Homo-oligomer: A and B are copies of this chain.
Amino acid sequence: MSDQLHQIGAVADRVGLSLRTIRHYEDVALVIPSGRSAGGFRLYTDADIDRLGQVKAMKPLGFSLEETARILELQVIIDGGAAADDDLQQMESFAERAEAQCRQLSRQLADARQLTSRLRDGLGNAGAAARTPSWR
């Protein structure tokens, strides 16, 4: 864990987000760089980079950026042992939504794989009758 500071370009390469996305996360107060250079360049610590990585990893869970910020805040509160009942209930509710989203992602992945193999086979719609889809 070095306490080196990183410019936004290096951070974007490492985490795999666009410059615009990282700047947007600052606009909405989701990930604020710990510092700025004399000339105004954003400077990110390793902790900032970890936070960006967490935000990126959470994207498939389908929360809004505002909700994501709240979840990260709740983690800090709960980890610090300073959680009120309301905080715990809120986190519980987020966790339930996350689990539901995982189940949906799992189904979507299965469907996506089936559709993808069909794309390559050039079977097109013909194979669709083989197994009755959910909307029938």
Interface residues of A (CB under 8 A from B): 14-16, 49-50, 52-54, 56-61, 71, 75-76, 78-79, 83, 88, 91-92, 94-95, 98-99, 101-102, 105-106, 108-109, 111-113, 115-116, 119-120, 122-126, 128, 133-136
Do residues A116 and B61 form an inter-chain contact, with CB atoms below 8 A? yes
Residue of B nearest to A58 (CB): B115
Return chain B residues, CB-CB under 8 Å to A95: 116, 119-120
Q: Which A-B residue pairs are the 6 nearest by beta carbons?
A: A75-B124, A53-B135, A98-B116, A60-B108, A79-B124, A95-B120
Do residues A133 and B79 form an inter-chain contact, with CB atoms below 8 A? no
Contacts A79-B123, A91-B122, A101-B116 given; 14 further ones with Cβ under 8 A? Answer: A14-B135, A49-B135, A53-B135, A54-B125, A60-B111, A75-B125, A79-B122, A83-B122, A92-B120, A94-B119, A95-B120, A98-B119, A106-B109, A109-B109
Quickly give the copy total for this chain.
2
Do residues B60 and A112 form an inter-chain contact, with CB atoms below 8 A? yes
Q: Is the interface of A mostly helix, strand, loop or mixed?
A: helix
The smallest beta-carbon distance between A133 and chain B, in angstroms, is 5
Return chain B residues, CB-CB under 8 Å to A78: 122, 124
Return chain B residues, CB-CB under 8 Å to A54: 115, 125, 128
